[in-house]
């Protein structure tokens, strides 16, 4: 039973392998945390935040990424009280809390009287994954994008983000930062799209983060003029095939519970639900 604050400490580069072993207990759900550990070496200078761990003796048994994204890693609802204490001590920089539903619910129960209410709460989001060939034929016109596609691709990225999140990524002077993010995804080979004869993006998706085990897809978008034609199914089938060939063997994403059309399309591609997540956006 947790009775002292001494169970929790800040993690750093020396803890990288232990933290990666922790994420590997559920490598698909924990792909974001694993990716961040690999690219930052758990160094706060590169994290733009901190990663905390709970130990039993010398064994790391739970973690929490605390930055713009607050993400629990292998936590039980009982663990989050200690991490919530640490979060409340920091200058708040959290824009999103995302993780397994019961853990996020428990975390919010601790901090809700000190933090402002979320702008939006999505309490039960199916987490889906596929580790086989897609069940429908991939769209042969979906391809990895290049730097030359940026002019056509960027407006679709802004439109998708605004539709999904409810605010433009360009608000509050964020255009340069968001455009740099889109360029980064293109340069990594993590951006996929289909263009029509006019050069418009009619389908697109990106890999948000990846590890040797899994890649998490985000930003799935079909142009409003072309919705209802099945482009999301064959487009996602193409993304699955390309990602499994070039990035990681398992493809995952999470979707809003109410988005029955998207959930049906993903199911036809071959995605299956493996967890329920919650996302709180501030």
Q: What is the pLDDT of residues 116-164, one digit of tens each?
A: 999 999 999 999 999 999 999 999 999 999 999 999 999 999 999 999 9
Q: Dump strand ranges (E) for the chain.
A: 8-10, 50-56, 59-66, 69-73, 96-100, 120-130, 143-144, 191-195, 201-210, 214-222, 250-254, 272-281
The structural domains of the chain, ordered by start, are 5-115 (3.40.630.30), 130-276 (3.40.630.30)
Closest to 230 (Cα-Cα) out of 262, 205, 254, 257: 262
CB 28 within 8 A of CB 10: no
Nearest-angstrom CA–CA distance, 220 and 164: 10
The pLDDT confidence band at residue 172, using thresholds 50, 70 and 90, is confident
Q: What's the pTM value of the predicted model, to 2 decimals? A: 0.93
Coil, strand or helix: which one is 63?
strand
């Amino acid at each position: 039973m947790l009775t002292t604050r001494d169970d929790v400490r800040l993690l750093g580069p020396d803890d990288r392998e232990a933290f990666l072993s922790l994420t590997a207990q559920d490598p698909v759900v924990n792909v974001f945390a694993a990716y961040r550990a690999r690219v930052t070496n758990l160094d706060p200078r590169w994290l733009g935040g901190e990663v905390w761990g709970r130990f039993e003796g010398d064994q790391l048994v739970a973690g929490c990424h605390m930055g713009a994204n607050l993400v629990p890693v292998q936590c039980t609802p009982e663990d989050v009280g200690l991490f919530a204490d640490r979060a409340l001590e920091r200058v708040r920089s959290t824009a999103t809390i995302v993780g397994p539903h019961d853990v996020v619910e428990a975390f919010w129960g601790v901090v809700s009287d000190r933090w402002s209410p979320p702008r939006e709460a999505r309490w039960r989001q199916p987490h889906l994954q596929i580790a086989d060939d897609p069940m429908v034929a991939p769209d042969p016109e979906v391809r990895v994008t290049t730097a030359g596609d940026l002019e056509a691709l960027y407006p679709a990225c802004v439109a998708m983000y605004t539709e999904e999140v409810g605010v433009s990524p360009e608000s509050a002077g964020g255009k340069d930062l968001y455009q740099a993010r889109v360029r980064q995804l293109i340069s990594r080979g993590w951006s996929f799209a289909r263009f029509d004869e006019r050069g418009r993006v009619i389908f697109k998706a990106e890999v948000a983060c990846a590890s040797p085990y899994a890649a998490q897809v985000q930003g799935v978008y079909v142009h409003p003029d072309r919705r209802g034609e099945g482009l999301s199914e064959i487009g996602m089938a193409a993304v699955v095939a390309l990602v499994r060939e070039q990035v990681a063997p398992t493809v995952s994403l999470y979707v809003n519970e109410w988005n029955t059309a998207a959930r049906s399309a993903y199911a036809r591609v071959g995605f299956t639900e493996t967890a329920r997540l919650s996302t709180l956006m501030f």
